[in-house]
Amino acid sequence: MSAKQRRVSLKSSTRTLLPGAHKIGPADAAEQIRLTVRVRRGSRPGEFPSDAELGSGLPAQRNYLTREEFGAKHGARAEDIAAIRTFAAENGLEIVSVEAARRTVMLSGTVEDFSKAFGAELHHYSFQGRTYRCRTGVLEIPAELESVIEGILGLDNRPQAQTHFRRRIRATAVDVSFTALQVAQAYNFPGGADGSGQAIAILELGGGYRVQDLTTYFSNIGLATPTVSAISVDGGSNSPTGSADGPDGEVELDIEVAGAIASGAKIGVYFAPNTDQGFIDALTTAVHDTNLRPSIVSISWGGPENSWTAQARNTLNSACQDAATMGVTVLVASGDQGATDGSANGALTVDFPSSSPYVIGCGGTKLSLTGKFIRSEQVWNELAQNEGATGGGVSEVFAIPAFQSSANVPAAPNAFRGRGVPDVAADADPASGYDVLVDGESTVIGGTSAVAPLWAGLLARINQLIGKPAGYLNPLLYSANVAATFHDITSGNNGGYAAGPRWDPCTGLGTPNGADLLAALKSS
């Protein structure tokens, strides 16, 4: 492949300036960096299962691909890997690793080498007191690789996502808090199961957990500490900051909620840098992990759809679609800043990756109990108290999927007929938040960050009781008999949309009745 051959723009690679950032100067040409190159599936058109095939049948009736079978059927083609190797050699780049099942090639080189190889200009920008390497415009690749490369990630290391947890700022006389077990009891999670034999992957883009915190927390609620392992991705690590207000609050909330519901499950925490490269590499590492083999992935990080490049969105969405073929359910928090998702101009928008049609978007409610039972439940909206609100709305990127065709999803703000977010909900209001232990401090945390791991624990119990992973659940959730098991939330709004009967852009189908959901997933 000659360097003089025709070059083309990599589709969907356009990147804009980081809003509010200040340009410092050119990036260090000699800096060594690593890039992730994602390539197309090895299967030919028509060979990859359709959405209808992925979502058909009850969980017990489904036949999923093993990770090894996926790699053989749909992993990167040998000739595509060879083409990337040739391109790397011609441009003075080093091949660090090749993982065909993940469709991932990791390249190493200098900023100067990569800038020349992909026609990119890299500069340093300051943003919120930190400095990042950023690019603008499109990336260029040889025309011969146009159909091969799905995404090139890592040139730009700006922060991609934010946490979706809300620590209670100040308690009022009417505020309450619950353990995850109390919430599970209110939602009638099925008994006789603790997630044994299951594995849950939790993605984290910063912070960490302390083993002593977990030991103390689970002892306090009368449970053995689950088996938790920290898994490094792209140099990320379990690095507690010492502050419950920072990402440690996210990490320990996720582990403690999922672990309380499914104490018998193995929990893998995949730590990666907070970049689009780190996010996607963490997901693909978890989905294709042949050691832990998680059947559930819980994600409590995200950002507005338009804060992602199209290539990053498409690549992550494709990875979630891959997960469906292997029976892996992906759960994603829908955001904590209401219907605008914190957009600078106040426009209505949804959070990604909760807007991917291959994940279960998780919204939030405010829960009130009488004893062990639900007294009332409404949409979480504490915007007036600066304590957030559930994210939800309509995608301006992903078309409305078949499973939502009868859900009366409204048009997106740009009139696009898009995918509705969220799909499901659970308690998330800090005013009815979760009792957790973070960095040695007992505190109360809410946010849709709590909903994704809560549902992860529920599905771990369901998977154990069914004897097979639930996998790609979205089409089943919207089927009449399964949708009827939810507590329909009809009161409240998220600052842009109002709750109403059946599905709505605040709490989706509603909150679970776990035992009824299990029964519906077991019967036709």
Q: Which residues are catalytic?
A: 250, 254, 449
Q: What is the DSSP letter of 516?
A: H
Q: Which of 436, 453, 450, 460 is nearest to 265 (CA)?
A: 460
Measure the CA–CA gap between 443 and 455, rounded to whole angstroms: 21
Report yes or no: 408 and 424 within 8 Å, Cβ to Cβ: no
The structure tokens listed for 393 are: 């709305």
User: Is the backbone peptide bond immediately before 422 cis, with ω within 30 degrees of 0?
Assistant: yes
Report yes or no: 424 and 406 within 8 Å, Cβ to Cβ: no
Measure the CA–CA gap between 218 and 368, rounded to whole angstroms: 24
Measure the CA–CA gap between 307 and 80, rounded to whole angstroms: 30
**Crossing angle of the two packed helices 514-522 and 451-466, in degrees rounded to 10:** 40
Measure the CA–CA gap between 96 and 430, rounded to whole angstroms: 44
Which of 399-435 are b and which e, b meaning 16 or more Cβ less than 10 Å from the residue's Cβ?
ebbebbeebebeebeeeeebbbbbbbbbbbbbbbbbb
Measure the CA–CA gap between 212 and 219, rounded to whole angstroms: 10
The beta-strand segments (E) located in 11-70 are: 22-26, 32-39
Report yes or no: 43 and 76 within 8 Å, Cβ to Cβ: no
Measure the CA–CA gap between 405 and 425, rounded to whole angstroms: 20
Report yes or no: 351 and 303 within 8 Å, Cβ to Cβ: yes
Measure the CA–CA gap between 15 and 307, rounded to whole angstroms: 9
The Cα angle at residue 121 between residues 115 and 123, in degrees rounded to 5: 115
Measure the CA–CA gap between 162 and 228, rounded to whole angstroms: 23
User: Is the backbone peptide bond immediately before 49 cis, with ω within 30 degrees of 0?
Assistant: no
Secondary structure (3-state) at 453? helix
Please name the residues in contact with 465: beta carbons below 8 A apart, sequence gap of 6 or more: 190, 192, 193, 518
The structure tokens listed for 306 are: 């338009």
Q: Which residues pair with 228 in a beta bridge?
A: 267
The structure tokens listed for 504 are: 């709505």
The Cα angle at residue 399 between residues 398 and 403, in degrees rounded to 5: 110
Residue 395: enclosing H or E segment and its boundaries? strand 393-399
Q: Are strands 122-127 and 130-135 parallel, antiparallel or unpaired?
A: antiparallel
Q: Which of 180, 171, 192, 162 is nearest to 217 (CA)?
A: 180
Report yes or no: 359 and 331 within 8 Å, Cβ to Cβ: yes
